[in-house]
């Protein structure tokens, strides 16, 4: 470019500046004020980033202590849960759903009851009531050696199960609940299959009630009724 051309460009730019100043005499002052505001915000951002980094390091340090222990505990539960499912020819596992928000962390149970299926998340839509009952009792059994509780109450867990699963679950429950130095199980149910496995450490309580109960309940001799039933079965 020639000197004359450069001078013309300079003149044009000066004219633009004069035009801006003429239309908004506070433009430069406003610009400088906004620039100062931007600089302050940048400082705040830098401070916030430093605080966030410090908190993240602290969080990682704390998480590094308890998360491996939690993973090991869930792995142990999952191993016992999988073993119980293997005993009935099915598959299952227990895992942790991890999220950036710790409030959303959750235990996840996945099960498979049929050969042609993959492991599916246990919920009220994918599995039947009987399958959910099997999964629930096996999960409780998996906690038996880990969760210290004096007793557990299981209400009608066998309802909705097919006979095969009910026998399997009952046998596993008896095996685990009747070990030495373990928690008690109270199984409450209106019915049980015949020919189930029982253990000498078990106690069966039959509650008699209903419209056919005699006015004086003391006249009800359960031992005599059992004797009559045995005699009928023997004669048949």
Residue 147 belongs to domain spanning: 48-213
Report strand pairing: 151-155 vs 184-188: parallel
Residue 233 lies in a domain: no
CATH number at residue 164: 3.40.50.300
Q: Which two tokens stand for residue 213?
A: 């109960």
Residue 142 lies in a domain: yes
Cβ neighbours of 89 (radius 10 Å): 12
The set of residues, in sequence order, having a beta carbon less than 8 Å from that of 165 and lying 6+ positions away, is 88, 130, 134
Residue 26 lies in a domain: no
Residue 70 lies in a domain: yes
Residue 98 lies in a domain: yes
- Tell me the helices (H) and strands (E) count for the chain, helix number first: 5, 5
Domains: count for the chain:
1
Residue 227 lies in a domain: no
Q: Are the C-beta atoms of residues 131 and 119 closer than 8 Å to each other? A: no
pTM: 0.62
Residue 1 lies in a domain: no
- C-alpha dist (Å) from residue 59 to 39, 47, 53, 80, 101: 30, 18, 10, 31, 13
Angle, vertex CA 67, rays to CA 79 and CA 75, nearest 5: 5
Residue 226 lies in a domain: no
Each residue's pLDDT, cut to its tens digit, for the chain (236 residues) gives 677 777 778 778 777 776 665 566 676 777 788 888 888 988 998 999 999 999 999 988 988 989 999 999 999 999 999 988 888 888 999 999 999 888 999 999 999 988 888 899 998 788 887 788 888 888 888 887 777 778 888 888 777 788 888 888 888 888 888 888 788 889 898 888 888 999 999 998 888 888 888 888 777 887 888 888 889 888 86
């Amino acid at each position: 470019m020639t000197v004359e051309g450069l001078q013309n460009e300079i003149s044009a730019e000066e004219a633009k500046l004069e035009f801006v100043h003429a239309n908004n005499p506070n433009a430069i002052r406003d610009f400088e004020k906004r620039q100062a505001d931007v600089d302050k915000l940048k400082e705040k951002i830098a401070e916030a980033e430093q605080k966030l980094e410090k908190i993240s390091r602290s969080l990682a340090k704390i998480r590094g202590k308890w998360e491996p222990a939690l993973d090991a505990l869930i792995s142990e539960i999952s191993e016992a849960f999988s073993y119980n499912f293997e005993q009935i020819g099915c598959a299952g596992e227990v895992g942790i759903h991890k999220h950036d928000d710790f409030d959303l962390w959750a235990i996840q149970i996945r099960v498979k009851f049929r050969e042609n299926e993959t492991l599916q998340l246990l919920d009220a839509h994918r599995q039947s009531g009987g399958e959910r009952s099997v999964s629930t009792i096996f999960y409780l059994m998996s906690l038996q050696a880990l969760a210290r509780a004096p007793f557990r109450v299981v209400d009608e867990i066998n309802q909705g199960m097919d006979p095969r699963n009910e026998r399997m679950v009952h046998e596993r429950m008896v095996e685990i609940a009747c070990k030495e130095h373990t928690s008690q199980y109270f199984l409450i149910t209106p019915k049980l299959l015949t020919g189930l496995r029982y253990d000498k450490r078990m106690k069966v309580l039959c509650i008699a009630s209903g419209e056919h109960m005699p006015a004086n309940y003391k006249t009800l001799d359960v031992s005599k009724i059992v004797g009559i039933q045995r005699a009928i079965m023997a004669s048949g």
